[in-house]
Structure formats: C-alpha cells, structure tokens
Amino acid sequence: MRWMRLNMKNQLVMHHEKLAREHTQKEMMHLKTPLPRRLNQTVQLIKERFYANKNADFQTRFTSYGRRRAYLIYLQGTVEQALVEHAILAPLNHPLPRRRRIHPGIDARLSSLNIKPLKTIETVSDHLLNGYPVLVIDGERTAYAFSMSAFPSRQIGKPDNENVLKGPHEAFTEDIEKNSALIRRYVRTPKLIHEMHTLGRQQKTSISLFYIEGVINPALVDNIKKRLDAIDRLDYDQIANIEQFIEERPYSLLPSMLTTERPDRVAAHLLEGHIAIMQDNFPYAYIAPATYWTLFHTPEDHYARLPYAWFSRGVRTIAFFLTLLTPAAYVAVTNYHLEMIPIALLMAIAGTREMVPFPVILEILLMEFSFELIREASIRIPSQIGPTIGIVGAIILGQAAVQANIVSPIMVIVVAITGLASYAHPDLSFGFAIRIARFFFIAAAATLGFLGIALLLAAALAYAVSFKSFGVGYFTPWAPYVPSSHDVFLRKPLPNETVMPLSNMPVQKTKANRKRYLSLDKSDPWRKRRRWHP
C-alpha cells in the first residue's frame, strides 16, 4: 500500500532538494557561450545553431552601425517586415552622433524601441525564437534585441466551450500577451501581479502566474512556484500541458484545477484569493485551488438575479445525481429490488423486455457505449454537420435497436435522460469524471444492488472529502468546515456577499469594510467560539 501511495503521487511535487542539487550540477556542466568580438564568428555561430543553410525563414540583413559593420538577424514571419524596415534599418542610415563609443541602448535614433542587451549565444537564440530581431555589431561582445514580435494570432472572439447567457462575450486566445491584457482589463488594480516563467530545454514555453498581492495566501504562491521550479530542474525538452506537470494526483478522476476560457471568470477568482496559470499558445487559464463548488458554479450565477441563480443551481444538482446514479439505479431495481417497483410499472417493463435476449447489465452497457461513441464521433467530424449527425445518429440507432429487440424502450429512455443530464455540468473535466464514474456505479449495482451503490457512494464521498487541491479540501467549506461567504449551493444577494471564500485562507477576509462580519483580531470571541485559526 505504501508503494501504491508513493506512485499515485506526482513525483514533480516531491524531492525539491534533490532536484535542486541536480539542477545546480547541470548548470555547472552546461556553460554559457559568450559572444565573440568578431562579427563573422558571431554570425557563423548563430547560423550553425539555426541550420541557416536549410532554414528558409532565417534572415540576415547586412547594415552598418556608424563605421562598423553589423547584421540584423530575425526569423521571417515572427516580425513585421515593414516595421523592421521603418523602425530599425531606416534610422541606422542616418549619421551617428559624434561620439567615439555609443551603443544602440542609448542611441537617440532608436530611442522609441525597447532594446535588450544580450551577452551569450543562448540568449540570442531564445530571443530570436520569441520573435525579436537581433542586431550584431562588429567589435561588440553584446548583441541587441528589439521587442517587436508579431506572431500571427486570431482576434478575440466568443467562448467556444463556455456558452455565455448573460455576461461578457470575450474569450482567451493563443497569444499570452493578449490574454494578459484581457485580465488587466477586468482586474484594474496595481496589486495584480503577473510573473513569467520559461520552461522547456528545446521548446521554450512561457508560463504566466496571475494573483493579487495582499489577497492571496502567500503559501499558495510558494507552492506553485516550487512545482514550477521542480519542472525546470528536470530539464524537459518541451512542456505540452502545464496542468499535468503540477497536479498532485495524475491518476485521479477529480480535477485539481479549474479550466476556463473566460477572462471574467478568471478575474472573479483572482479577487477571491485564487491563482491563475496561463500557458503560451494555449487559449485557456487554469485556476487553483479548485474545489467542487468552483467546478459547480458558473459566471451566470452572479450575473443573473437571485431566484434564477438558485433555480439553475438546483437543476445542475439534480443533473449531477441523474448522470451518476440513474443507470445504476435501474440495474439495481430490475435485478435485485423488484418489490420497489409498482405492479403496473413492473408489468410494463417486463412486457418491453420480453423479446430482449440480453441481461440488463449487458443491455445498458451496450447503450451507454453507443451513446459515448456518438458523442465522440460528433466532436471529431466537421462542425457544420457534427450536431446533426449526433442527433440523427442517436435517434436512428435507438429506434433500430428497439425494433430489432436488442434493447428495451425504457432502456433508451434511461440512457437518454443520463446523456442529457451529463451536458448540464459547466466544467468539461468534471463532466468527464462523472461520465466515467457512472460505469463504476453500474458495476456496483450489478454486483450488490442498492447495497453496492451505497458502499461505492460512501467510498467516493470519503475519497472526495480527503482529496486536496493544492492544500485545500475538495468539499470545503462544508468538509472540512471553515467559515465562508455561504456561496456554496445557494448564494446570498450580491450586497450581502461581503465575506471572502475562506477555504484557501486568503489574507484579505472581507470584500467590504464591515467589521461586524469578520474581525481580523486574534482575540475575537467569534474566532474562539468556532475554534478556527487561519
């Protein structure tokens, strides 16, 4: 059991000291290559690094800097050609001011540009890959990178996977700078911190951390940074998905982070003491820590009026249990608990199953796998005909199966209700977890009936209560109990939501300056009565 627990944990979260020693040794072995003083040697080293004789987009432009020869190097397509001509090459044709030694960083002709000095071949290579034109001057051991990258990117559009009923119709793109600007637009405070990390040895990947200083728990930020440092010390060639590198339990069905493509949703969680993680070339943001309630809520719950939000959350709660338990309950009732069915309904079920040659468990597994196959196929085929094929395929398949006496009509109804309820979950990852978990409940119902469902439900609930997302309990503030804003199942009117969600222990406890809601004094009698200490 101890070996299983160790292997279920993500190894990146553990052994930080060992990884730090290995990283220090690797840094000592991989020395940086300084730039040569001669121009031809520098250009040759850069060309060899980028295989210039094979790369069609590797561009070198000969120019001059004063009386010295120079080269402007860039990758075609990552910068705007007209901007390079207008902002860099054209000013260099003007006479240099009468000074013996001047570098581009203080050159008045280039004062409008953001210029970064580079000392090594490795940094030159990194900046070229990020879309920076680099100026190399003869006799200089320093190259100069100009910040004017222009990678092709799509415009900001509507969310594709999170439909907006009431709220902003904006979604993230693959450009991390645009995404950062969107978050700044929704969170207009100087306390918003944006930290950049670069991971990957061959394929450089930019990772951004967003949090609000003075609101977020500093231990949460340190926890995320340690995990990113652990990834960096392992020297991976590329980082495909940052979520799978920093999560604690990679084999668990429960997601430990909330995935969203809506900047307003990210802003709402940042203001409540969460941290947002974004990856370059990935139009989604990860929010940590994630509890069941963050996955259960939607942004429309606060944009809509109070009764509408209550009704919507009630429907989603019913849909959760329908998705998880409806097929299993049908199997348990028809196999073990026939006395629970009214006689008229029992005779109707028996009449519809009279010609069906398969047992109930095989019948329901056949229909469930058919429904999942239709769902997966409708995603992969072109979007213009995907929904049509999915709906028509389900209708034709169900009707044909009933007429061929392969399944009973009531089985089609059970699977259809389960499938419709599975679409009511707002989070894609949590929806996958419920869809997979229902097969385990079907197996438990086929084995022990309602007793098997009860035992598996108790085990799943115990596991979910013990599950932690970055140190925060999955069912907080209910289990374990902590004081909160009571925005769990039913929320309060917006003017009365003055207490922060205290599950992730934010530094700021209230949204409004009202001491009667929660005192920050350690000698507060309310705190002693509840026996709770943040």
Output the CA torsion sign for 402, 403, 405, 406: negative
Q: Identify the pLDDT of residue 18.
A: 56
Q: Identify the pLDDT of residue 512.
A: 64
Q: Identify the pLDDT of residue 534.
A: 39
Q: CA dist 119 to 36, 215, 340, Å?
A: 10, 38, 79
Q: Identify the pLDDT of residue 238.
A: 77
Q: Is the pLDDT of residue 443 over 90?
A: yes
Q: Identify the pLDDT of residue 8.
A: 47
Q: Is the pLDDT of residue 366 over 50?
A: yes
Q: Is the pLDDT of residue 276 over 90?
A: yes
Per-residue pLDDT of 96-137, as tens digits, reads 666 556 667 666 677 767 888 888 888 888 888 888 899 998
Buried b (16+ CB within 10 A) or exposed e, 224-244: beebbbbbbbbebeebeebbe
The better pLDDT of the pair 479, 262 is held by 262
Q: Is the pLDDT of residue 532 over 50?
A: no
Among candidates 261, 298, 80, which has minimal Cα distance to 178?
A: 261
Tell me the chain's radius of gyration from C-alpha atoms: 30
Q: Identify the pLDDT of residue 409.
A: 84
Please report which helix (H) or strand (E) contains residue 321, including its range: helix 306-335
Rounded Cα–Cα distance for residues 264 and 205 (Å) = 25
Q: How confident is the model at residue 511 (pLDDT cuts 50, 70, 90)?
A: confident
Q: Identify the pLDDT of residue 106.
A: 67
Q: Identify the pLDDT of residue 392.
A: 65
Rounded Cα–Cα distance for residues 257 and 234 (Å) = 23
Average pLDDT, the chain: 81
- pLDDT-wise least confident of 275-284, 300-309, 430-439, 524-533: 524-533
Q: Identify the pLDDT of residue 26.
A: 55
Cβ neighbours for 378, distance < 8 A, ≥ 6 positions apart? 386, 387, 389, 390, 393
Q: Is the pLDDT of residue 324 over 70?
A: yes
Rounded Cα–Cα distance for residues 505 and 273 (Å) = 8
Q: Identify the pLDDT of residue 101.
A: 62
Mean per-residue pLDDT for 519-527? 46
pTM: 0.79
Single-letter residue type at 168: P
Rounded Cα–Cα distance for residues 47 and 43 (Å) = 6
Per-residue pLDDT of 195-241, as tens digits, reads 988 888 778 888 999 999 888 988 899 989 988 888 877 777 778 88
Q: How confident is the model at residue 445 (pLDDT cuts 50, 70, 90)?
A: very high
Q: What token pair was written down for 37?
A: 């003083």
Cβ neighbours for 530, distance < 8 A, ≥ 6 positions apart? 483
Single-letter residue type at 325: L
Per-residue pLDDT of 14-35, as tens digits, reads 555 555 555 555 554 455 788 8
Q: Identify the pLDDT of residue 531.
A: 45
Mean per-residue pLDDT for 58-83? 86
Mean per-residue pLDDT for 326-336? 90
Three-state DSSP class for residue 231: helix
Rounded Cα–Cα distance for residues 160 and 323 (Å) = 23
Rounded Cα–Cα distance for residues 284 and 282 (Å) = 6
Give percent above pLDDT 70 in the chain. Answer: 84
Mean per-residue pLDDT for 254-274? 91
Give percent above pLDDT 90 in the chain. Answer: 18
- pLDDT-wise least confident of 213-217, 281-285, 382-386, 449-453: 382-386
Mean per-residue pLDDT for 395-421? 81
Q: Is the pLDDT of residue 530 over 70?
A: no
Length of the chain: 534
Q: What share of the chain is helix, strand, coil (3-state, %, to 5)?
A: 50, 15, 40
Q: Are 103 and 164 in contact (CB under 8 A)?
A: no
Per-residue pLDDT of 139-168, as tens digits, reads 888 899 988 877 767 778 778 777 777 878
Q: Identify the pLDDT of residue 516.
A: 45
Rounded Cα–Cα distance for residues 102 and 99 (Å) = 7
Identify the top-confidence range among 80-89, 127-136, 337-346: 127-136
Q: How confident is the model at residue 318 (pLDDT cuts 50, 70, 90)?
A: very high
Q: What token pair was written down for 364?
A: 């329901």
How many C-alpha atoms does 392 have within 13 Å on its Cβ side? 5
Please report which helix (H) or strand (E) contains residue 288, including its range: strand 285-288
Q: Is the pLDDT of residue 265 over 70?
A: yes
Q: How confident is the model at residue 329 (pLDDT cuts 50, 70, 90)?
A: very high
The better pLDDT of the pair 329, 102 is held by 329
